[in-house]
Amino acid sequence: MNATIIDPLQGDFPEVIEEYLEHGIMKCISFNRRGTLLAAGCSDGSCVVWDFETRGIAKELRDKDCVAAVTSVCWSKNGHHILISAADKSLTLWDVIKGEKLYRTTLQQTPLQARLHPGGSSSESTLCLVCPFSSAPMIVDLCTQTTTTLPVTLTERVNGPIPPSKSKFSDGSAQYTPTAACFNKYGDLIYVGNSVGEILIIDHKNIRVCGVVPIVGGALIKNIVFSRDGNYLLTNSSDRTIRIYENLLPLKSSLKVLDDMHEASSDVEMLKVVGSKCLSLFRDFQDSVTRVHWKAPCFSGDGEWVVGGSASKGEHKIYIWDRAGHLVKILEGPKEALMDLAWHPVHPIVVSVSLTGLVYIWAKDYTENWSAFAPDFKELEENEEYVEREDEFDLMPEIEKVKESETNEDDEVDVTTVDKDTSFSDSDISQEELYFLPADPCPDVSVHPEKHTESTTELGDCKNSDSPFSEETGIDAQGLNHDSNQIEGMEISGGEDIGGASLKRRRKPSEKVLELRAQKRL
């Protein structure tokens, strides 16, 4: 987005439906880190990757072993992998470029959401956080196929590992309501929102609760998510309120700072004191008139806006607030329930999924502002008589003669250094990141397939003048001179077939062809 031509008074948030994407029945969506690719999980178990610039399908990941609906999709940090959870209790990690399954495993419970570890190291690339339907959140290592169940209440053992659960996908035992959980920015801590209105800050490597943040009212936490910069945490509770917390911990080495705050202790009051030093309530959002429940709330890419979808049936409404708590826009879509939504990492674009499986793209309704391109441009409300200057059509107006050149022609222009992208805090370490998928062009189909003879195939191969076939048949540099015996009666197919008509070409043998014939006879 060219920020220099955006009118700041218009607001940097979407306003209208720009277009929609259609492919089967899509259920959930996720942008890659740069927003160039959009992954959508479908009801038939497949995952479609859209090129968001061209709005075309770049890849389709289809697992013959999975025909159940996809419940969540998640990109790896470098964009080379996609984690897909499905209603058949499966977790599958895909290689996006190759379109191959790297790991697949089956859980004891249906995963409602699965998120890859945000770290970039090889040891963390197969770790994922899974929130099942009726058991506690768990850490799953796809490589070793082991799970580690996380505590969700303070009544569990908070200072040591829970009784052995690192066997192959053991059940979460106790019954729980669906519990929300997410990694922090660098993945050294996990924030779990439980059914009694508490946010547990957990060291997932040692399975230890480091802090607790109670929420006013003690309502069930349905969603919990961090902003992309890691400075704010969002929770969505069953009391129909979205709350924003400011992260008081440093982005890096958060766990080390927590360890320095106190020694291992099971005292609940001590954990609450530590929690108050980790998160601070910043703002809450709710619709005091309609009192609607919220679905799939999230931050904008820069964290300046908060967006939430209405969970009411039969309406497709998206509410947008600024971080100060003011409701700035209500986007009203078709009379279809909203299933999922995501904000573009860079641009003011929101993508939402409807109950019918369509993906709607919401963008700004830009108004033309020509003064942004030409500062001397002036808009007229009515016609005015224009009086030209005396030197207006001179080759060198007097005004420009007086002006001195402000450009130093001796300055060297640097055209090799690539500036760091300010939209991403760690863009300098993302050299191997996947931005776009290579396009595989479809071959041209012959208009007359029944006449696809051996001679037609040879003609298609003759387009390259450097091929061995071109040397044997006497093709010149442009690939236009052919042996008259081979060309006679041959039909031009593919790209050379104009308007569906069959064209025949007869050519005299060139001097080079005659020379090659003479050499063959010798």
In a domain, 495, yes or no: yes
Last residue within a domain, chosen from 363, 391, 416: 363
219 plus 326 within the same structural domain: yes
Express each pLDDT in 88-123 by its tens digit.
Answer: 999 999 999 999 999 999 999 999 999 999 986 777
Residues 337 and 456 in one domain: no
Whether 31 and 180 share a structural domain: yes
In the prediction, which pLDDT does 43 show? 96
Minimal CA–CA distance to 267: which of 158, 152, 150?
158
pLDDT score recorded for residue 121? 72
Listed in sequence order, the residues at least 6 apart from 110 whose beta carbon sits closer than 8 Å to its beta carbon are 71, 87, 89, 132, 133
CATH at residue 125: 2.130.10.10
**Of the residues 314, 334, 363, the one at which a domain ends:** 363
Q: Which of 342, 363, 384 is the last residue of a domain?
A: 363
At residue 351, the pLDDT reads 97
Q: Residue 369: inside a domain, yes or no? A: no
Domain extent, residue 124, equals 11-363
Q: How far apart are CA 139 and CA 123, in angstroms?
A: 14
Tell me: do 356 and 456 sit in the same domain: no
Q: Give per-residue pLDDT as tens, 287-328.
A: 888 889 999 999 999 999 999 999 998 899 999 999 888 999
Answer whether residue 376 is part of any domain.
no
Q: Would you say residue 38 lies in a domain? A: yes
In a domain? residue 68: yes
> Are residues 155 and 288 part of one domain?
yes
* Per-residue pLDDT tens digits for 147-169: 999 999 876 544 444 443 333 44
Residue 453, C-beta contacts closer than 8 angstroms, at least 6 positions apart:
none
Model pLDDT, residue 428: 44
Per-residue pLDDT of the chain (522 residues; tens, 9 = 90+): 344 444 444 568 899 999 999 999 999 999 999 999 999 999 999 999 999 999 999 999 999 988 999 999 999 999 999 999 999 999 999 999 999 999 999 999 999 999 999 986 777 889 999 999 888 999 999 999 999 999 998 765 444 444 433 334 444 444 557 889 999 999 999 999 999 999 999 999 999 999 999 998 899 999 999 999 999 999 999 999 999 999 999 998 898 888 887 655 568 888 999 999 999 999 999 988 888 999 999 999 999 999 999 999 889 999 999 988 899 999 999 999 999 999 999 999 999 999 999 999 999 987 777 766 777 777 778 888 888 888 777 776 555 555 555 566 677 777 777 666 666 655 444 557 888 887 666 555 544 444 444 433 333 343 333 333 333 333 343 333 444 343 333 333 333 333 333 333 445 566 666 777 777 666
Measured distance CA(147)–CA(168) in Å, rounded: 7
Domain count, the chain: 2
Task: Let me know if residue 150 belongs to a domain.
Answer: yes
Question: Is 401 contained in some domain?
Answer: no
The mean pLDDT of the chain is 79
b/e code 462-482 from CB counts within 10 Å (16+ = b): beeeeeeebeebbbeeeeebb
Residues 352, 465, single domain; the answer is no
Is residue 486 included in any domain, yes or no? yes
Q: Are residues 244 and 140 in the same domain?
A: yes
How crowded is residue 367: how many other Cβ atoms within 10 Å of its Cβ?
7
